[in-house]
Structure formats: structure tokens, C-alpha cells
Amino acid sequence: MKILAIDTTGQTASAALLENDVIVAEYSIHYKMTHSQTILPMIDEINHKIELDLSTVDYIACSCGPGSFTGLRIGAATAKGLALGGNIDVVAVPTLDALAYNVFDTDAIICPIMDARRQQVYTAFYQWRENELNRLTQYSALAIEEVIQQAKSYQNKVIFLGDGVVVHKELLLRENNFCFAPIHSNLQRAASVAAFAVKLIEKGKVIKGSELELIYLRKPQAEREREQKFKEAEKC
């Protein structure tokens, strides 16, 4: 089974190929470039280096959010284009699930946090039970203070990871039970998207490219600002 996975939900653009439980190739860039500039060339580079014939790919695994609105749409467009062009099925992998999957088999609570700006993060809480990663809460956009209070309520060690850690690390360091995933496991990875996709495929959670839907936890900033201007105009 071959799975081509992509993740463009945050600042990191990442692509990977999983074949028969082996990550054959992975290419990630965390740099000041738009994903529209990077993701297709990255996939092309993987194809060239390992002589991949896209017609032999069984599934396209796409990180489907939450995350950057622009990044989500670029990833979805890429996945749909590859899937429809090659008649390949798609696996929609929630970004927070794949991010939490970076941390394996621990007794601690796992809390991925993705920077959503305005002192908010996209998050959910997870825990490993009997070799299965279980999500304990709904995907949410929360103020970092709310996340901290919820994390403390578990009265357990909590491992934080994601690009929100860098933004809010000073606050998180105040709590003795909080710790952080190592650098190599801290950000989104297409390899984790591919690995988590295997679990979803086993459960029959496979769709056509045209059926791919993204997880948005709040409206785009431009739309929120437009609504705010309308409200202010109505008051005048």
C-alpha cells in the first residue's frame, strides 16, 4: 500500500510517501515561503528521487485542518488535483490528530496547540490507551488561558507540542506538570499524516477527492473584520 501524504496547515509544508509501513521519503520546509511555492515542487522532488509513478499510489492523505485558511485551501487543492487526475482515493486526516500522533505511547496527556493568533490556539486533548491514541475533547479554538486551566484539570503530566508552544511557552513553563515534545516531533509532519491515515483506512474512512471537506473552527480573519465593520457602521 502506497500513501502520498501532504500537510500545509501551518508554517511547515511537508510531503511524504509511505509504502508498506515504511516512510520511503519525507520532505519538510519551515521557511518564509508560501505553500503554493513549495508543496508541488516538493512532491515532484520526491517523485524524482524515488522514481515514483503516481499511478501506483493507492491513497492521497491530506491534513484537513484546523489551521491556516490559506494553507488549508492550498493543501486541499493539491490533494484534490492529484486524486482526481489519477483517480486516487483520499484520506482526510485531522491536523490535530496527526500532530498528537507525533508523541507515541505515553501515560501523559497530549495537547497539540496550533497558533490561531489573538492569544488563541487550535487544540484538543489526547491520551494513549491500549496502543490507541484517543481524543478526549472536541477540536476547539480556545484562549491559551482556557487551555491551561483544562490541562491542569487532568491532574497529570501534559505534553504540549505544535507551533503554539513557541508563542505561549512562557505561560506554559509556569506549570510544573507541563512539558514539551522534542524539537523533531514538535511540528506537523507528513509522515505522521501518512501513519495516521493507515488507521483511518483500516476503519474504512476513505473518500473521493471531490468529497474532501476542511475543518474550520472559526471564520477567516478578513471575514471577521468585515463583520466587525458592518457592526460598527450599524451603530453610527
CA–CA dist 38, 19 (Å, integer) = 23
- Supply the pLDDT for residue 31: 87
Split at pLDDT 50, 70, 90, the class of 221 is low
Cis peptide before 66 (omega within 30 of 0): yes
Question: pLDDT-based confidence at 19, cuts 50/70/90?
Answer: very high
Whether the Cβ atoms of residue 114 and residue 10 lie closer than 8 Å to each other? yes
pLDDT of residue 34: 87
Query: pLDDT band for position 233 (50/70/90)?
Result: low
Q: Mean pLDDT score of the chain, rounded to an integer?
A: 93
| pTM (two decimals) | 0.92
Its CATH class, for the domain covering 2-95+188-221, is alpha beta
Residue ranges, comma separated, of all CATH 3.30.420.40 domains in the chain are 2-95+188-221, 103-185
Above 60 in pLDDT, residue 225?
no
Q: Which helix (H) or strand (E) holds 208?
A: none
* CATH no., domain 103-185: 3.30.420.40
Q: What is the pLDDT of residue 102?
A: 98
